[in-house]
Amino acid sequence: MPFGQLVIGPPGSGKTTYCLGMQQFLRQLGRNVSVVNLDPANDSLPYQSDIDMSELIRVEDVMSMLKLGPNGALIYCMEFLAENVEWLRRRLQELKSDYVLFDCPGQVELYTHNTAVRNIVSALQKWEYRLVSVHLVDSHHCSDPGKFIAVLLTSLSTMLQIQLPHINVLSKIDLIQQYGKLAFGLDFYTETLDLSYLLDTLNDDPFYRHYKKLNEAISGVVEDFSLVSFATLNVEDKESMASILKLVDKASGYVFRGSETGYSDMASLMSSATGADFDFSRDAAIREKSTEQEATSDDNEQEMMS
């Protein structure tokens, strides 16, 4: 049963960079991973893609033939792939890996109300792919309360539309301070605590004051569903990547595959499954070594007494 990540998010959120970093990270862990580029407008890939959607259709060709703009052409391409999804199935069957990263386009409409990506995901699920959607959002939106509320609504809409195990991620967290001081601590934004405090900040801005009722309604919808929270990511930090991977593995069930995943025993598997920050397997090994030393000491004492 193949597993994978559907990497989605708005333009500039770092999806392609994430796929490159996660590909390298997984290979260091010994996983056989492939990357599929599902963005027909991305013609400068930093990684070696195993499947590239541009082999099927290209945004530039659609714009030229159908006289569409970039956004309309991109939507057409994704709908074309959804209608010709057998092409993707045949290409996936050629892969020798059982873990796939799907690098998706950044047009927000594809994840909020257009059904093309959802239909592609449904096909992948029929082919027994165990997927997790990793939704990247640029962390600089936290410095602007109005943009952050928009991000919350977009994230919620995406979760309901895609209908997959879902992880929202604030990317480029190492650069967050470059965009200004946050009004609250980082935990406020990752856990999306009481949004009324954020609304108070908005009301101080003359521009957002005109949209007070709208922002209150949006915040109410987000809080009523109680679904949106965020993990943080610095793609150049191994610990940050490991933290995201642990969340993905638990969401997809990959962690329960046992020794095939590198979780070599029940102790280490349960350590990862419960999200422990310590190495349970190492702790167990220390206890085992201590027990062996005690047994050896007892044997020596018995030999001396005899």
144-167 tens-digit pLDDT:
888 899 999 999 999 999 999 999
Is it the case that residue 73 has pLDDT exceeding 70? Answer: yes
What mean pLDDT is predicted for residues 171-184? 87
Q: What is the pLDDT of residue 10?
A: 92
Residue 273: per-residue pLDDT: 46
- The residues pairing with 278 across neighbouring beta strands, listed in sequence order, are none
Report the pLDDT averaged over residues 287-304: 53
User: Hey, what domains does the chain have and what are their CATH numbers?
Assistant: 3-263 (3.40.50.300)
DSSP 306: -
Average pLDDT for the chain? 85
State the CB neighbour count (10 A cutoff) for residue 124: 22
Q: Is the pLDDT of residue 233 over 70?
A: yes
Calculate mean pLDDT across residues 272-283.
Answer: 42
- The reported pLDDT for the residue numbered 269 is 45
pTM more than 0.85? no
Residue 104 and residue 6 in contact, taking contact as beta carbons nearer than 8 Å: yes
Contacts of 215-220 with C-beta under 8 Å, sequence gap 24+, read: 215/146, 215/149, 218/149, 218/150, 218/152, 218/153, 219/149, 219/152, 219/195
> C-alpha distances in angstroms, 30 versus 24, 47, 97, 99, 194?
10, 18, 12, 11, 42
Q: What are the tokens at 104?
A: 């998706």
Q: What is the pLDDT at residue 23?
A: 95
The CA distance from 99 to 75, in Å, is: 27
Average pLDDT over residues 112-118: 93
The whole-number pLDDT of residue 274 equals 46
